[in-house]
Amino acid sequence: MKTIRLGDEAPNFTAETTEGDINFHEWLGDSWGILFSHPADYTPVCTTELGAVAKYKKEFDKRNTKVIALSVDGLESHKDWIKDINATQNTTVNFPIIADEDHKVSNLYDMIHPNADSKHTVRSVFVIAPDKTVKLTITYPASTGRNFDELLRVIDSLQLTAYHKVATPANWTDGDDCVIVPAVSSEEAKKMFPKGFNEVRPYLRMTPQPNKN
């Protein structure tokens, strides 16, 4: 099993999901993607997480981002559990869940950490860019539900870097000033950032968020 590092190509796979069989790369198409695992169906924290993700659909769509979940439970279990998620979280699950009973995808993405739990996936997240490179990996313990606002924040930051050549400083939130990436010279920056920039230091140049009015 190869460790997946930032910049690697996200391994491709075929899988059975609650929305039919998929080839992962074909399913992603030209979108950004989030692949995330949860320990098991019919567990309390997972139920709240998948309900939360369903409610964020508009936010993911705005960011051209497709979301897919995974656990080592089977398809029938996933399908039955979705009814519970919908009923208890007051939503409709609107993304596929991979049934990874044979651990094929879990092993490919190193989602089972045997010293934490030998049978179940931990809470892994992979953010994948349209060119299929891995842009973010995080691993949470089974007992801690993830912060999906933070995931949206990271996707916003990644997209600002990809499309506007700015990075985001500590505790940045949407609308705050951004950092001009070091690869852009100050001469180039004058043309690229018509709102101007503040050169605090030659290596620290702040500019208003480029995609905001």
Residue ranges in contact with ligand BEZ by CB under 6 A: 39, 43-46, 142-143
Beta bridge partners of 137: 126
Q: Which is nearer to ligand BEZ, 66 or 123 (CB)?
A: 123
Least CB distance from residue 136 to ligand BEZ, whole Å?
Answer: 22
Q: Which is nearer to ligand BEZ, 46 or 158 (CB)?
A: 46
Least CB distance from residue 46 to ligand BEZ, whole Å?
Answer: 5
Least CB distance from residue 140 to ligand BEZ, whole Å?
Answer: 11
Helix-strand-coil split of the chain, %, nearest 5: 30, 25, 45
Least CB distance from residue 45 to ligand BEZ, whole Å?
Answer: 3
Q: How far apart are the first and last CA of the chain?
A: 46
- Choosing from 46, 69, 112, 189, the catalytic residue is 46
Parallel, antiparallel, or unpaired: how do β-strands 97-99 and 65-71 relate? parallel
Tell me how far apart the alpha carbons of residues 111 and 103 are, in angstroms, rounded to a whole number.
9
Q: Which is nearer to ligand BEZ, 146 or 205 (CB)?
A: 146
Q: Which is nearer to ligand BEZ, 122 or 134 (CB)?
A: 122
Q: Residue 46 catalytic?
A: yes
Tell me how far apart the alpha carbons of residues 165 and 158 are, in angstroms, rounded to a whole number.
10
The residue written with tokens 């709240």 in the block is 48
Q: Which residues are catalytic?
A: 46
